Amino acid sequence: MKLLRRKIDSYLEEWIKDENRKPLVVKGARQIGKTESIRSFAKSHYENIVEINFVFQKKFKQIFEGGYEVDNIIKNISLLDPTLTFSPGTTLLFFDELQECPDCATSLKSFKQDGRFDVICSGSLMGLYYKQIESNSVGYKTDYEMHSMDFEEFLWAKGYSDDQIADIGNHVFQLQPFSVLEYQVLMDIFRDYMIIGGMPEVVATYVRQGNFSGTLELQRQLLRDYEEDITKYTQEGLERTKVLSFYRHIPVFLAKENKKFQVSKIAKGARNREYIGALEWLANAGIINPCYCMESAELPLKGNYIPNQYKIYFRDSGLLVASLDEESQEDLRANKNYGTYKGALFENIVGDMLVKAGYPLYYYRNEKSTIEMDFFVRDARSLIPVEVKANDSETPSLRKLIESDNYPDIQYGIKFCNKNIGFNGKFYTLPYFTVFLLKSFCRQMVK
């Protein structure tokens, strides 16, 4: 399978140029392409690669038993596999599946202080908790969180060049509407991305075949794998049951009009405080994106939210699609009825794209429910309400937030929908497929 271009590729190129580089820990959900990207980078930059997978090579968990000095670790690795070569300055130690051996993270301080060998660790966020680690080498490692493929990476996979993608950005930054052809082509690609999502194996299958054939089964297998990992990594008994129940109810609540996740509906007598651990576990595992309700529509964003009021989105839109019932699947894939499921698909993918762009997720609903807003971001000066529409319907909440004197931090808004670029003096209308450019767009607004 052709290796897909990923954004971590350029990050790794910058990392190796840094003479004071620290051991790198690449974290992310399972099967998002961490291992493949690191291997490809290693093959083109190092004479010797020592790759250890703590899942498949369990015997190597012993290498830290004698302490964390580099010489001791190298000696123990060589005892277990004498064919490996350790040449200072030209060797990369790649420790994969870090979550299976927390002691490995403790050793990173020693590797940084020693300086003879580069180290990259990769781990699923599933079960990767530094509380279990004797020392997590604070200040002696660099963390990088990797996601499934964003829309720009999806365009790369489809064969689009950097110049073509830059042209999309030029349209947005200059508020120049797309031609009919440009708009139609990009919307068709976006709709496919909404169904396919960004899991590399699924994307590669779709690109190779030019259609959806076989992709649904790959996605459903990923969902089964996630359930298996929840069973494997969560605590015994009630905690495991709570995480699984929480996870399985996500599509149920997204189907509702307000999409608010209600723990009381999961089980009889269930209370939010009993399930907060399940929420945090699934978020830390890279499976979900929580979106918290803001106390008030004002800055700052962090700290200005209600912890027990939230919506839950899948971190990959393709996995949400795969979790739907058979009829919805057929409606989406065969009939291309993208307006189904009460707009949840559009909210989910925009939320996922915002997270991949570096935004935390927040929404707002006032006490009387007369104002509701899907998301909020910010630029250097103001709070920006972001509305997502499955069609080009009216936006009374967006207008109220912008026009009312009660929200002085809000100067303008953004509406993502199936409509070309425009500005009516109050909010910008942008097509869904431009969400990945939002951070750059907001920077342009304050120049």
Q: What local confidence, expressed as pLDDT, does residue 371 receive? A: 94
For residue 401, the model assigns a pLDDT of: 96
- Region 63-75: mean pLDDT is 95
| pLDDT for res 238 | 57
pLDDT value at 366 more than 80: yes
Mean pLDDT of 151-179: 98
Of 268 and 379, more confident: 379
pLDDT at 50: 98
Model confidence at 200: pLDDT above 70: yes
pLDDT (average), residues 282-300: 92
Given a contact cutoff of 8 angstroms between Cβ atoms, the answer to whether 33 and 200 are in contact is yes
Q: pLDDT tens across 327-340, in order?
A: 776 777 776 666 55
Which stretch of 97-111, 128-142, 407-421 has the lowest confidence by average pLDDT?
128-142
What integer is the mean pLDDT of 292-315?
91
Average pLDDT, the chain: 90
pLDDT given for residue 160 in this prediction: 97
Whether the pLDDT of residue 23 is over 90: the answer is yes
Whether the per-residue pLDDT at 269 is higher than 70: the answer is yes
Q: How confident is the model at residue 126 (pLDDT cuts 50, 70, 90)?
A: low
Residue % of the chain over a pLDDT of 90: 67
pLDDT at 67 over 60: yes
Q: Assess whether pLDDT exceeds 70 at residue 129.
A: no
Q: In whole angstroms, how far apart are CA 171 and each of 95, 177, 430?
A: 43, 6, 10
pLDDT at 132: 53
Q: What is the pLDDT of residue 130?
A: 44
Q: How confident is the model at residue 278 (pLDDT cuts 50, 70, 90)?
A: confident
For the ranges 18-32, 256-270, 390-404, the lowest mean pLDDT is seen at 256-270
Residue type for 322, please? A
Percentage, residues of the chain above pLDDT 70: 93
